[in-house]
Amino acid sequence: MSAVLSVKDLTVRFSTPEGEVKAVSNVTLEVNKGECLGIVGESGSGKSQLFIAIMGLLADNGTVEGSAKFGDTELLNIPAKQLNKIRGERMAMIFQDPMTCLTPHIKISRQLTEVLVKHKGMSETDARQRALEILDLVRIPEAAKRMDLYPHEFSGGMRQRVMIAMGLLCEPELLIADEPSTALDVTVQAQILDILNDLKNDLGTAIVMITHDLGVVAGICDRVAVMYAGEFAETGSVQNIFYDPQHPYTKGLLRSMPRLDQLTDENLYTIPGQPPNLQRLPEGCKFQERCVYALDECLVDDPALTSIGEGRQKACHRKGFDSQGELIT
Amino acid sequence: MLFFILRRFLIAIPVMFLIIAMAFFMMRIAPGGPFTSERKLSPEVEANMLAAYDLDKPLHIQFIKYVNGVLHGDFGPSYKYKDFSVNELIAIGAPVSIRIGLLAMFFAFAVGVPLGTLAALNQNSAIDYSVMGLAMTGITIPNFVVAPLLTLFFGVYWHLLPVAGWNDGAWNHMILPVFALSLPYIAYISRLTRGGMIEVLRSNYVRTARAKGLSEFVVVRRHAMRAGLMPLVSFIAPATAGIVSGSLVIEQIFGLPGIGGYFIKAALNRDYTLVMGVVILYAGLIITLNIVADVVYAVLDPKIKLGRA
């Protein structure tokens, strides 16, 4: 399989008045053609910033190091002019927060057609036709009537679908979807996931799904990377991660998911504590303060992400958990 | 939209009346009168003069007469510029001031907006600091310093441009006054543009536009500029009213027959009618331009609907 995107040792830093913050540290990953990689983690774990950096869209106070290759082309720290040949056309990103991500004073139709005119050299008429098709595809009701409205005349869910449509316009080779379905009700969400699945299977689009909805991950992803405090805690196939989690954090995430098949009167499990402040990370393992399995060495030594077979990796000093979910000592 | 504009003009009528009333009575509270001078007039002469201009009548009668005149488009005779009516004085001076003012405003806009945008795009860089440094200089150095210096260099030393005079609005006579007049406005406009643009350039939708692979020019011009210039609109309306109603300093230094001097000279001379004329002109400009600003807002931002509210 050929890697559409290969990221190596990517680190994102922000300089703030309170000092430097490392939002993403030494992340290495690959996404292949026709594959969907899920990135899960709590808010502030760096999952969005990782891909915003790859798209060359970091805020002014952010810097990125390492390497991110799209095919053979290095993406990091290249001039915007070169990056613009790839982003928007061959690599697209669907942003979260659709309420603020569309330009308020430009009609929806124009915001879609400008991409096609720029990258595909389409005429305004052809681009309009294509935009309409895509809006129909993402289930905007009466798209032909609505496409000449302004963003504020759309509901949150419809704006979200416009964002998705925007990402699909040029049928990119790599689609980065940052919480694409959070503002949608479950039926539309299922439809959108179907569209993304078709894209993946029919066109071989590589998809990165950034989410904290584990249901979405189970529905579309092939592999999953669990992020914590800017690092990968565990990576593996969806099967592995869901049925045989080896990192205490992954285990905690899964336990804190409500389940229909195990109705009890108990309160839903929550991982104790808060995600760490990236400016004052704990010594040793970054999860150690919240980890119920922490060892003495976890307090001083930050475990590296290491391979544990079956194409899986984890960053934990513990041996892991057996098939019953019990700790291996 | 039309309804909105009409409504705003209707509301402007009582506002205008209040302004006229306040200006009229405040002028009369000030001690002295149009015919008070160092050489005392004989009581008979003064009484005759006052009677000739109806100034001996009770104040409320004078006010009613004046308002009646204004409603008929007659702003009365000037008490100081004999043989001239206020209408004539304004008709002579206003076109000069308006022409210079509009040109200066246009120039300030054309220079200030690109400068401010440039600074915003290169925030906290050498470009940003030099633009903002220049802007600060433009704001702090007063006209009466800049204008004579310009005259000295371009007129006296280098003989490139005329030193002063209007010459029926010949373009070379307008360059220096327009430039001098526009300097502080360039400064304000570039600072406002920079502030507005910095905020917009950080917004999520500008990030989306960049993610689409659009060129930086299109991102700034199409996606950022409109919202970035919003703070300018509310500045430009009153600023334009101010600039076209003339600048005493600029008109004195360059010897222009504008109305900038009237305001001050007329007030000092107690030339009641001329003061009133200029006040009404200025107030009318402010009111009109603010309505224009509201319409411009609605044009710039589709979220703003000009309704009945």
Question: What pLDDT, on the 0 to 100 scale, is given for residue B112?
Answer: 95
Output the six-digit token pair for A225. 């990377």
Residue B221 confidence class, pLDDT cut points 50, 70, 90 = very high
List the single best residue of B124, B203, B208, B296 to mutate versus A (max A Cβ within 10 A).
Answer: B208
Q: Which residues of A56-73 are buried (b: 16+ CB within 10 A; e: fewer)?
A: bbbeeebebebebbbeee
pTM for the whole structure: 0.85
Place A95 in a pLDDT band, splitting at 50, 70 and 90: very high
pLDDT tens-digit readout, A46-69: 999 999 999 999 998 999 999 999
pLDDT of res. B14: 94
CA distance B285 to B293: 12
For residue B224, give how far its alpha carbon lies from the nearest alpha carbon of chain A (Å): 8
Query: What span, in angstroms and rounded, lies between the C-alpha atoms of A248 and A225?
Result: 14
- Where are the domains positioned within chain A? 3-97+172-314
Residues 6+ apart with CB under 8 A from B232: B113, B189, B192, B193, B196
Among A124-138, B52-66, B152-166, B246-260, the range with the most confident prediction by mean pLDDT is A124-138
By a Cβ cutoff of 8 Å, what residues of chain B touch chain A? 123, 202-216, 218, 222-223, 226-227, 300-303
Model confidence at A70: pLDDT above 90: yes
pLDDT at B119 over 90: yes
pLDDT digits over A180-215, tens only? 887 788 888 888 888 899 889 988 999 999 998 888
Helix count and strand count (H, E) for chain A: 10, 12
E strand or H helix that includes residue B184: helix B171-201
Q: Where are the alpha helices (DSSP H) in A121-259?
A: 124-137, 143-146, 156-168, 186-203, 214-220, 238-243, 248-255
State which amino acid sits at residue B143: N
- Structure confidence at residue A256 (pLDDT): 84
Residue B307 pLDDT: 64
In degrees, to the nearest 5, what angle opens at C-alpha A270 toward C-alphas A265 and A271? 150
pLDDT-derived band at B46 (thresholds 50, 70, 90) equals confident
Check if the beta carbon of residue A162 is closer than 8 Å to that of residue A108. yes
Lowest mean pLDDT among B83-92, B136-145, B298-307: B298-307
**Beta carbons of A95 and B301 less than 8 Å apart:** no
Q: Which residue has the higher pLDDT, A329 or A35?
A: A35
Domain A3-97+172-314, what fold? Answer: Rossmann fold (3.40.50)
Mutate to test the interface with B, among A14, A73, A101, A169 (most CBs of B within 10 A): A101
Residue B297 has pLDDT above 80, yes or no: yes
Confidence band (pLDDT; 50, 70, 90) for A1?
Answer: low
A83 at B interface, C-beta within 8 A: yes
Q: In B, which residues are within 8 Å of A89 by CB distance?
A: 213
pLDDT of residue B309: 44
Strand A223-228 to A231-237 pairing: antiparallel
Judge residue B308's burial from the number of C-beta atoms within 10 Å of its C-beta, 0-12 exposed, 13-18 middle, 19 or more buried.
exposed
Q: A147: pLDDT confidence band, cut at 50, 70 and 90? A: very high
> What local confidence, expressed as pLDDT, does residue A185 receive?
83
Which DSSP letter does residue B169 get?
A: G
Average pLDDT of chain A is: 90
Chain A nearest CA to B186, separation (Å):
26
Average pLDDT over every residue of A303-310: 88
User: Using one digit for the tens of pLDDT, what is the confidence trace for A251-304?
Assistant: 988 888 887 777 677 788 888 888 888 888 888 898 988 888 888 889 888 898
Domain B92-263 carries which CATH code? 1.10.3720.10
For an interface test with A, which of B202, B203, B212 has the most A Cβ atoms less than 10 Å from its Cβ? B212
What's the confidence (pLDDT) of residue A28? 94
The confidence score (pLDDT) of residue B186 equals: 94
The predicted-structure confidence for B158-183, as pLDDT tens digits, reads as follows 988 888 888 887 888 889 999 999 99
Position B277 confidence tier, pLDDT thresholds 50, 70, 90: very high
Chain A neighbors of B225, CB-CB under 8 A: none
Q: State the pLDDT confidence band at B50, using cuts at 50, 70 and 90.
A: confident
